[in-house]
Structures are given as structure tokens and as C-alpha cells.
Amino acid sequence: MVCLMSAQPVDAKKTKEKKIKTITIQNAGKSLLINKKEKFQLKAKVKPKSLKKKVIWKSSNKKIVTVSKKGLIRGKRYGKANIWLKAKEGSKKKAKIQVTVGRKVTTVGFTVKTQEVEVGQKLKLEPVVLPQNATDKKLTYESSNPAVVSVSAQGIVAAKAKGEAVITAKSQDGTQKTGSFVIQTKISTKNIIINGGTTGKRLEKGKTFGVSASVQPANASNKALRYTSTNPSVAVVSASGVVTGVEEGNATIRVDAVDGHSTASINVEVFRMKVSKQKLIAHRGLSSEAPENSIPAFEKAVENHFYGVECDIWKTLDAEFMVSHDASLKRIFGYPLDIASLTAQQIKKYHMINGANIDSYEKLTMPTLTEYLQVMKKDEEVHPFIEIKEMLKAEDLKKIVKLVKDQGLLNQTYFISMYQSNLLTLQTIAGVESSQLQYVYGAEESNKNTPVSSEILSWCINNQIDLDSRLSLVTASDVYRLQMAGRKVNVWTVNSLEKAYELDNNYHVDMITTEYLLNPQ
């Protein structure tokens, strides 16, 4: 018996062969750089995954780069070749990567670790890429603080603000090698301001002054200054800008910004403060070194070659003239006795107990006018200055003039007084010239704080009598007015070299009365 079986139909979809839809090389871009003899595993990505084995790897130039069945490439010779990944099931899908066999970057770096850049400036980076014959030396750049320092794709750095930033360069050949360095931005000094100006400074020998300087702009990165002298034998300057006068002459004090971008200078004239000796009058003798109005004080003044030596005189009971500033013996001798109530002989019995260096002298008595004049005779260039302390009659004044004349000193003696009548009378005495007379102003209670008036100046000018004024009461214009009228000006009592120098050089007074050696050797 024969059994007949019906045939089963065949499913056409099941029998249809699957095709690759997409194919890519997964772990590389369009190109790849490898070293000679270097191996690199390429990875294929196939869709659908079930057809992953339906691909084949091929090299366009096996002499340059080879590829295994599993996609392992190896560099053979320098050059370029394409590596293909192709479908072999008939879909004709394929992927390609260009492989260059060359030299990879091994190091990226810079020759400095830190560099300063001025805000507002730009510079071109010069990184070092090794090996020198690397195939692809292109780099990318990055700044850690673009607000302070920016960097372009071309490696141009721009300093924007004060601060610092790390600049990093990275290789683009796939090696990701990096190198970096720090850029510190700075603001340089533009100029230096010397407070008080740079017109020059006069400095007394042995004295100091400070140079006060500052840099601009105020936010400069380095504000430090360096001080130097072009002539240290004349003036030296300390690290903090204190200038000391060493010797007479001229020097320039330089102020340099330590950052080297700016400088300034000031000229210094060092001088020795001194007053012309022909102007100096020893007040009551050299009364800073010996008791005032004493023979030792007069002798010391003569020995030190003062132009003049001043004394004060009063009339005694017996019509003699004694040398004393005070009408009484109380301050210098310790006795409340008036000169006018004693004879010269009686006064001679008392000894000085006060005055400069009094302990160095024994039994100093009040000098007579004649004794004073005898000391003056020891130097023919000295000029006696006799201050008549009280208002006297004509016969008394004539007697004083005669005493001076008898000592041979009349032509070089000056007569000074706070009493205008004394001076006007002296003008009438034979042998006395108007140029020998000086009106003392500022010694009375009524005028010791009152500036010299225009009326006083006119009185001196009209009567051709010179002025002897307290130093605080006369002005430079007063001096000028008197001198323009042919009169001279003496000022008292000037006990500092600085003030004497000012009066000499700025006021241009004719004479200065002092208790000190203003020009010590």
C-alpha cells in the first residue's frame, strides 16, 4: 500500500540571507598616528552584531602598515596607508581609517617655569615639542585663569589683569602630552614722583633730609625704590632715602624703580653754613663762654676776631662809667645795689657770682669803660660797640667820646642807644660820624614786642642813624628800605647759626649781634 504525503511550503523570509546595515571602526577617528613597529588594536562595530564575523580587514599598503584578521595593525615603514574594514556578505558596506606611520610626540614643555608679563602686553608662546622631528607637532592651549591671562589657538598670550595663570599646551597627535608654566602678570612703574619737586635742595654739611618719593601708577606690582648718589664724597643716601651732607659741593640723588622702568633725580647742593665774620658782634663780649660784660668775655671775643664787641655802660655816683647790662648789681653780683648810687671804687669791691663758666674765674669785678677799651686796643681790627643804657646830658656824652678818643679808638667805635636824644647829641660832637651811631629798638618794655614801624624807619633815614633791632621785630623789607636810603641794620640777639645764616643770606642785614661763636672751626 502506498501512502501519499503532502509537501510542506517553504518560508521565503527564513531562507533570505541577512545583510550588514552599518559598519564602523569604533576606537579611532578618521586618521591615526602610530610609531614604527607600534601595534594598535582596531575595533569593529557592526550592525547587526550577529554579522560581526562577516567583515574583513585589509591594508592598502602592507609595506607601510599591516592589519591582522582581528584588526591588529602594526607600523612597518614611515608613510601613510588606508586600513579598510569591509563586509564580505555582499552588502558592500565598508569603513576606512588613514594610518600614518611616523613619530609620536613624547614631550611637551616650556623652557621656563615662570614668566612675568606686563599687563596689556602680548607674547607668542614657544613650547618645546620632542622629538624635534615629530610627525604632528600641533598643540592646543588653555589658561587656568582667562580673566587674567588669555591664550589663543595660535598660542598668543594676552595679559589682561594683575595676577597669575597656568598656561598648558597639549599635543594633538593623540598622545595627549602636556606641558605648562606660570605667567605672572605685572603692572610696571610709569614714573616716579619726588614729593616737593625736583628743583633742587640745599643741604647744610652734616645735616640730613629724607627724599620722599612714590611710584605711579599706585597699583604697580613692584613699588620698591633704589637710591644712589652720583657724588658720595659730597652727599650720601641711605637705602631708605635719607641724604646726608658730607662736604661742600654738588651731587645728584637718583631714585630708580627696582623694576627698572622709571627713574627720577634731585640735585643737592651741600654747603657749610657760615656767616661773614665782618658782620658778627659779640654781645657783652663772648658771653656764652665767660660771664657777660667781663674782661674774660671781652678778651675771648677779641681772640676770636669778632668784627665788634658790644658792652653796656652806666654812670656812677662819681660820674665814672662802668660796664654792666643791668642798672643794679643784683643779678650778676648778688647785691641789690644800683650803680648810680655807688662810686666806681665802691663797685669794684664786689665780685661776679653769675655768668657763663663763672667757676673758672676768681674775683671778677665790674670793668670800667676804660678797662674795656684797653682790651679793644689789643686788636686794631676790632670795633668797640658801646651801648649807652641811660639818657645822658651832653657833657656826659662828650666825656664818653673823649675816653674813647684817648684810647685811639674813636674812628672805629660805634655808639648805640635806645634813647634817640643821646644819638642826636652824639651827632653834634666833633669826631663822631653818623655812620657810627645805631638806634637800639626793641629793648624797652613799650616796644619789645612791637614790630619796627614806618615812623621808626623814617626817623633813622631822616637823621642818618643806623638801626639796631631785636631780630623778631624787623623784616626783610625794612632792611631793604633802610639800605636803599644808605643806612645799615644790626640785629640782636642771634644765637643760632641757622637764624644768622638766614639773616645774612635772605635779609642781607649788615651786622649780627650774638653771644656765640657762630662759625666754629
Q: Are 370 and 494 in the same domain?
A: yes
Q: Are 152 and 283 in the same domain?
A: no
Grid cell of 409 as nine digits: 679808638
Grid cell of 106 as nine digits: 613624547
- Residue 326 included in any domain: yes
pTM of full prediction above 0.75? no
Q: Are 111 and 95 in the same domain?
A: no
Q: Which of 293, 297, 270 is nearest to 386 (CA)?
A: 293
Judged by DSSP in three states, 20 sits in: coil
Q: Are 328 and 459 in the same domain?
A: yes
**pLDDT attached to residue 1:** 38
> Could you give the number of structural domains in the chain?
4
Element (H, E) at 460: helix 454-463
- Residue 164 included in any domain: yes
Q: Quote the crossing angle between the two packed helices 420-427 and 454-463, to the nearest 10°.
A: 20
**pLDDT attached to residue 273:** 78
Of 220, 250, 271, the position where a domain reaches its end is 271
Q: Are 95 and 113 in the same domain?
A: no
Q: Are 39 and 154 in the same domain?
A: no
Strands 163-171 and 22-25, how do they pair? unpaired
- Residue 139 included in any domain: yes
pLDDT tens digits in sequence order for the chain, 521 residues long: 334 344 455 454 444 678 999 999 988 888 899 999 999 999 989 999 888 889 999 999 999 999 999 989 999 999 999 999 999 888 889 999 999 999 999 999 999 999 989 898 999 999 999 999 999 999 999 999 999 999 999 999 999 988 999 999 999 988 999 999 999 998 889 999 998 777 788 898 889 999 999 999 988 888 999 999 999 999 999 999 999 999 999 999 999 999 899 999 999 999 887 887 778 999 999 999 999 999 999 999 999 999 999 999 999 999 999 999 999 999 999 999 999 999 999 999 999 999 999 999 999 999 999 999 999 999 999 999 999 999 999 999 999 999 999 999 999 999 999 999 999 999 999 999 999 999 999 999 999 999 999 999 999 999 999 999 999 999 999 999 999 999 999 999 999 988 998 999 899 999 999 999 987 65
The residue range of the domain holding 165 is 107-186
- Residue 17 included in any domain: no
- Residue 126 included in any domain: yes
Q: Which string of b and e fits 181-207 if b means at least 16 CB within 10 Å?
A: bbbbbbbbbeebebeeebeebebbbee
Q: Are 487 and 441 in the same domain?
A: yes
Q: Are 396 and 501 in the same domain?
A: yes
Q: Are 475 and 502 in the same domain?
A: yes
- Residue 13 included in any domain: no
- Residue 410 included in any domain: yes
Q: Are 243 and 363 in the same domain?
A: no
- Residue 359 included in any domain: yes
State the Cα–Cα distance between residues 185 and 160, nearest whole angstrom: 8
Residue appearing with cell numbers 592646543: 140
Judged by DSSP in three states, 72 sits in: strand
Q: Are 232 and 249 in the same domain?
A: yes
State the Cα–Cα distance between residues 314 and 322, nearest whole angstrom: 5
**pLDDT attached to residue 4:** 38
**pLDDT attached to residue 16:** 60
Of 227, 252, 271, the position where a domain reaches its end is 271
β-sheet with 79-87: strand ranges across: 31-35, 94-102, 79-87, 55-59
Q: Are 349 and 474 in the same domain?
A: yes
**Could you tell me the CATH number of the domain that includes residue 234?**
2.60.40.1080
Of 271, 301, 324, the position where a domain reaches its end is 271
Element (H, E) at 228: strand 225-229
Strand-pairing partners, residue 101, are 34, 79
Judged by DSSP in three states, 49 sits in: helix
**Could you tell me the CATH number of the domain that includes residue 391?**
3.20.20.190
